[in-house]
Amino acid sequence: MNRSLRAAVGRRAVLPVLVLLALASHEAVAQDQQGLTPLQVAQTEVVTSAAISDDGRYVAFTRLVPADPFQRNVPATAQLHVFDRRTGTSQVLHTISSAAAVSFRPGHNTVTFMAVTEPGVARGLYEVPVTGGTPQRLVDFDRHMLSYVWSPDGVRVAFVANEAVTQPDTPLPYRPDFFEENIPQRMAYVADVRTAGAVRELQHRGSYYEMAWSPRGDRIAVAVTPTPSVDDSYMAKSVKVVDANTLQVVVDIDNAGKLGQIEWSPDGQRLALVAGHNIHDPIDGRIMIVDATGGTPVNILPDFEGKFEQIAWTGANEIHFIASESTASAFGRIRPDGTRMERLAGEDDVAMSSFTRSGDGQVAFVASTPRHPNEIYTLEGRRRQLQRLTDSNPWLADVDLGEQRVVRYAARDGQFDIEGLLMLPVGYVEGTRVPLITVVHGGPEAHYLNGWLTGHNLPGQVAAGRGYAVFYPNYRGSTGRGLEFIKSSQGDAGGKEFDDVVDGVDHLIEVGIADQDRIGVTGGSYGGYATAWMSTYYSDRFAAGVMNVGISNNISKWGTSDIPMELYLVHSREWLWENNNWQKYLERSPIYHVDRARTPLLIMHGAEDTRVHPGQSLELYRHLVVRRPDVPVRLIFYPGEGHGTIRAASRLDYNLRMLEWFDTFLQGDGMMPDRDLDRAGAGAPARTAAGQDQRR
């Protein structure tokens, strides 16, 4: 029987005291510790970006270092480091504030980055030698830089910054907020760094995003939108070529759909785009080639059953790439006509997120594995094997982690085989049934790779240490499986895509891993929608749910989200008010099925969310309280947070309450958790791999 049926409303349980490890620092990690603790997750450092020097000797990289969640509620700091491949040592270059957009300045072998170095001074472009020193500001500008790119000679820099806007005049002692008015355009500028004050503005009016200099430095390819709205940034990027001297547009490219990257061919005659196949493609995951003098981009490999993540021209007739194919990723090369595709490096359990290439062809990667978060890798030796350079969390070696497997199963309609990832409890014994937490990704245009799958909102190895199996399904509509697969869920919100998730749970029950009476579900955004759907429509299958920034009403969502055009073009493919769709979208809303709800549901939402309005969570909460007063439900808003939590204390709070909810309703007594937060809960793992309670 579903454990939620035995939950008592209004009763409050005092949380048992967890076995506490001294975790003031990671040095106290025990050799035989099973699974991670929430505090360790909150203190985990992650490499986020990398750039390799032209000679390949140095790799500059940023490492995200979280704040102490018990002291400050601020985002993590991206610290700047450089790794010397000749000596095998790394050096800190900047730690006093977050560094962004790390690059090597062409022809100078210095590291450049954006940062705010002192209060009241706009984020600017700084330069520091690879040997260290005080970073020097390169451009004198009064507004925050948002991005930049160097000219090939390292003399000029093109950058993006918001235009200056003025507030409306009023004789009153306050100003009202004019919603979506007076939002600044993202303007583009070119500066000669030899004269810090020489800044010129690109002449085309609009908001600028991706920019790339031509090999000779005489042109700049840019992506520009009519307005600075989020919707336009997704669906209305137009590629243009600008004369680098006059700063006037000289070429319009006839592109349509999402756009993520622009790259010039070495001869300056063609552009390669990482973009959508067309306006209805949910992702920028195809390689599109177009003549630099104009034309319509052509998808060079339309039948590729994967997703191109990043590209770089390496010769007149060769493009290197990182691609995701289902749960795996690979580094390879392809000709610009789509022929001779070859995978050069990749392992099933190394998830590559980006690469950087030196002038002489050496390559460095940012990648994770099931055993650690993102680190720096390089290709070494004749066999071009991946070699890990950095170790941001050496204490992880002393933590026993659960095994991570790729799982495959057939969808009930027979149209697709679905793949996903399964994390087993630490020390799992084959044939043992254990509680299962299903983690549904957002988007739905996203996917899980076989890398590190633990975070403040991903129970992962923390749950594995508490006796749970954790399931990450890549349901239809996910990326990494080609055009047919990703488009198969369009116009079918909450339909077969979510059936795929349930089919995966059934598969894990059938093979003897999951306990059918102890199934949980969680996810954020579209994954939050899935959680709400599983906790209402499929409530008989799930014993606990944790919903984050999720959708509950597909009608009110249309009027409150900041991406209505994206919703129409790549999700619904029809307007809500056309063809009598009101009833259809109401019936695909969790609030419509609340009368079926039996699943204890914890709802969490950023109070400042503009993507999925906090009212979506409030609607579901109100319906549950009124229509199903016997079902445990709790709603938590996080002040100052948006579409997901980014601050240290908010994240740890989320993680602890998520785990507490699952412990209570999947392994505990089913009594409503107390609102008080026990610091001890951030410490040691609470349960063994067999799911036995170790708490006293």
In a domain, 555, yes or no: yes
What radius of gyration do the chain's Cα atoms show? 26
- Taking the model in full, what pTM does it have? 0.92
Whole-angstrom distance, CA of residue 290 vs CA of residue 281: 18
Whole-angstrom distance, CA of residue 493 vs CA of residue 490: 7
Q: Is the pLDDT score of 462 beyond 90? A: yes
Question: Mean pLDDT, the chain, as a whole number?
Answer: 92
Q: Is the pLDDT score of 411 beyond 90? A: yes
pLDDT (0 to 100) of residue 12: 29
User: Are 504 and 437 spatial neighbours (Cβ–Cβ below 8 Å)?
Assistant: no
Q: Is the pLDDT score of 555 beyond 60? A: yes
pLDDT bracket for residue 5 (50, 70, 90): very low
pLDDT bracket for residue 32 (50, 70, 90): low
In a domain, 687, yes or no: no
Q: Is the pLDDT score of 689 beyond 90? A: no
Whole-angstrom distance, CA of residue 351 vs CA of residue 370: 9
In a domain, 152, yes or no: no
Q: Is the pLDDT score of 693 beyond 90? A: no
Q: Is the dihedral of CA 199, 203, 206, 208 positive or negative?
A: negative
Whole-angstrom distance, CA of residue 330 vs CA of residue 363: 13
Whole-angstrom distance, CA of residue 435 vs CA of residue 662: 10
Q: What is the mean pLDDT of residues 241-263?
A: 97
pLDDT digits (tens, 9 = 90+) for 344-393: 999 999 999 999 999 999 999 999 999 999 999 999 877 788 999 999 99
Q: What is the mean pLDDT of residues 329-346?
A: 96
Q: Which residues constitute the domain of residue 559?
A: 3-25+31-37+398-682
Cβ atoms within 10 A of the Cβ of 246, count?
11
Structure tokens at 475: 């349901």
Whole-angstrom distance, CA of residue 145 vs CA of residue 134: 20
Percent of the chain with pLDDT over 70: 93
Residue that has been written with the tokens 């500059």 in this structure: 60
Please report, for residues 374, 472, 550, the alpha-carbon distance to residue 446 in angstroms, rounded to integers and kept in the order given: 18, 12, 16
pLDDT bracket for residue 30 (50, 70, 90): very low
In a domain, 270, yes or no: no
Sheet holding 385-388, edge to edge: 351-357, 363-369, 372-380, 385-388
Domain total of the chain: 1
Q: What is the mean pLDDT of residues 435-454?
A: 97
Whole-angstrom distance, CA of residue 492 vs CA of residue 504: 19
Whichever domain contains 622, its CATH number is 3.40.50.1820
Q: Is the pLDDT score of 549 beyond 60? A: yes
Per-residue DSSP letters for 577-600?
A: TSTT-HHHHHHTSGGGGGGG--S-
Is 500 strand, coil or helix? Answer: helix
H/E stretch holding 521: strand 514-524
In a domain, 124, yes or no: no
pLDDT (0 to 100) of residue 380: 84
Structure tokens at 29: 């990690």
User: Are 26 and 677 spatial neighbours (Cβ–Cβ below 8 Å)?
Assistant: no
User: Are 344 and 427 spatial neighbours (Cβ–Cβ below 8 Å)?
Assistant: no
Is 329 strand, coil or helix? Answer: strand
In a domain, 118, yes or no: no
Q: What is the mean pLDDT of residues 289-311?
A: 98
pLDDT digits (tens, 9 = 90+) for 277-287: 999 999 999 99
In a domain, 382, yes or no: no
pLDDT digits (tens, 9 = 90+) for 597-654: 999 999 999 999 999 999 999 999 999 999 999 999 999 999 999 999 999 999 999 9
Residue that has been written with the tokens 């995978």 in this structure: 343
Give me the amino acid identity at 251: V
pLDDT (0 to 100) of residue 572: 94
pLDDT bracket for residue 25 (50, 70, 90): very low
Q: Is the pLDDT score of 243 beyond 60? A: yes
In a domain, 358, yes or no: no
Is 273 strand, coil or helix? Answer: strand
Structure tokens at 483: 């055009």
